[in-house]
Amino acid sequence: MLNAKLFTEVEAAILKEIIQLRRDVRGQRFTDKPLNKEIIDQLLTAALHAPSVGFSQPWEFVLITDPALRQRVKESFDRANEAALEVFSQRHQEYARLKLEGILEAPLNMAVFYKAPEKPVLGQTTMDETGLYSVVCAVQNLWLMARALNVGVGWVSILDPEKVGRILNAPAGRRLVAYLCIGYTDGFYSQPELEILEWEKRKDREAAVIYEQYNNI
């Protein structure tokens, strides 16, 4: 069984480049070029091969193209975004100029849900949130495959997850983890857009990497 492919330095370098050039794509960047079934299948295959706690695979993917459903999700975003304006009152004008979603512009929306387990899951008995983390791994897999296929993905997090669940008629035991806008784009930024706009700066490695243990002195 230990006969899986070993990758070359060239292939590793390509993966590194894909990771570094992955971007969050906003509404004004999507084009109307449709996504064919083969591309969508490749994205889903990548997501379905993500790691998951106890091999539980606790994810479900809802593909949304219906304009009426998307309009209702957009209205949920608009209400949540109005509330967010108050949170960023000191940067109100900057925030108001940001285009933070592409719900109506992207040819495909995808809601990614966590399905709560019906039985104990190996590795999830003391850290229940690892089930949610597994779904996030699936989203990352999809996002990287999309970038490799030159397809844009935008993660919309300014939403009421329970409201979106009701719009999509989600069964009991489901929890919205991600709402994605997916489609071709007119181009990818060389840096994250929020870095370009100086909303935030990239954190230095020294500020994020701790060796052995925290030093609280």
pLDDT in tens, 19-46: 999 999 988 899 999 999 999 999 999 9
For residue 124, being part of any structural domain is answered with yes
Is a pLDDT exceeding 80 seen at residue 216?
no
Residue written as token pair 């990614």: 112
Q: Output the pTM of the full model.
A: 0.94
For residue 126, being part of any structural domain is answered with yes
For residue 67, being part of any structural domain is answered with yes
Is a pLDDT exceeding 60 seen at residue 133?
yes
Residue written as token pair 């008995």: 125
Residue type, 178: A
Query: Do residues 164 and 76 make contact, with C-beta atoms less than 8 angstroms apart?
Result: yes
For residue 60, being part of any structural domain is answered with yes
pLDDT tens per residue across span 94-130: 877 788 899 999 999 999 999 999 999 999 999 999 9
Is a pLDDT exceeding 70 seen at residue 161?
yes
Q: Quote the number of domains for the chain.
A: 1
For residue 131, being part of any structural domain is answered with yes
Owning domain of residue 139: 24-203
Query: Do residues 101 and 152 make contact, with C-beta atoms less than 8 angstroms apart?
Result: no
Q: Which of 63, 59, 81 is nearest to 177 (CA)?
A: 59
For residue 104, being part of any structural domain is answered with yes
For residue 32, being part of any structural domain is answered with yes
Integer CA distances (angstroms), 205 to 14, 210, 211, in order: 22, 9, 12
Collapsing DSSP to helix, strand or coil, 24 comes out as strand
**How many CB atoms sit inside 10 A of residue 194's CB?**
13
Contacts of 89 (CB under 8 A, 6+ apart): none
The mean of the pLDDT values for the chain is 94
